[in-house]
Amino acid sequence: MIERFPLSMADDLFHAYQLSEADLDELNQVGHLVLPGLLTDSARRRLTTALAHVSRQSGPKGYKPGAYAAEYNDYLESLIGHSQMLGLAREVLGEEIRFDHCVALNRPPGNEGLGWHSHEYGDTNPSLGFIRIFFYVNGFASDDGALKAVPGSHLFRDRTIRASTDADLSEGWMSGKVHPVTGEPLSIETLDVPPGSVVLMWTHAAHAVTPRRDGSGTRWCVVFAYRNPGEPSEARWISEAFERKRIVGAEGLMTLY
């Protein structure tokens, strides 16, 4: 069942910020960009409540609520077309965008994390961008449900990156590769971000997640993804009913093309 929360579109999602040319250059060269503490306190509270609500839901067989998180919670739904969300997505992708998915990525205590992987979209067409916007509501330490990435890996636009461990990735896909811009050997970076941080990441970037400690609380996280239309998207998790639904601010954003 979807849970109802009163929402004013005037509610700020982000603190005031200015995405600079240097920020965009970093995103394009590294493949990800950390915006520390960008979420407002109000947004963090509402996101925690919303994500906890989604985690308690059950769906039809083969239909995981977490993969369709915005369809189970109207606060998450409202953020798809929030002016600050779309402003951030369009600063990266330009004006012509589509919503792709909203997925809950909560990591409870003892969660084993996630191995190395990348995603597809416009593999042979660099003019098509696909950005993932991660909300790390309560942040994470580098050894506790942390996001790991390989700077520059997104420039290979390789959807097939897979490895169980850092060693497997280093000895396998990364072996002998250098950053296409800097010429430096590829390396693994483990992030450490404060509560309320937002991380932007290009879809082809190699990334993984470290295990969550047994004694830690749940790492609350949700990702909203947007892309330039032009090709099918394998990651697009939207039910037919949700695609047809009128969402304030998201008019014209819910279709594939």
Per-residue pLDDT, 9: 41
| Residue 143 counted as domain residue | yes
153 secondary structure, DSSP code? G
| Residue 4 counted as domain residue | no
Q: What are phi and psi of 31, to 5 degrees?
A: 105, -15
* DSSP bridge pairs for 227: 98, 130
| Residue 171 counted as domain residue | yes
Per-residue pLDDT, 63: 77
| Residue 9 counted as domain residue | no
* DSSP bridge pairs for 178: 185
Q: Given strand 32-35, what is the order of strands in its sheet? A: 32-35, 197-202, 130-136, 221-227, 98-104
| Residue 170 counted as domain residue | yes
| Residue 250 counted as domain residue | no
Q: What are the residue ranges in the chain where pLDDT is below 70?
A: 1-10
Contacts of 78 (CB under 8 A, 6+ apart): 7, 9, 247, 248
| Residue 91 counted as domain residue | yes
Per-residue pLDDT, 11: 87
End-to-end CA distance of the chain: 29
The answer, as to whether pTM is greater than 0.85, is: yes
Per-residue pLDDT, 60: 77
Domain that holds residue 62: 21-244
Asked whether 55 and 104 are in contact (CB, 8 A), the reply is yes
CATH number of domain containing 52: 2.60.120.620
Per-residue pLDDT, 58: 87
Kind and range of the H or E element at 35?
strand 32-35
Q: Give the three-state DSSP class for 134.
A: strand
| Residue 254 counted as domain residue | no
Domain total in the chain:
1
Per-residue pLDDT, 104: 98
Asked whether 27 and 199 are in contact (CB, 8 A), the reply is no
Per-residue pLDDT, 59: 79
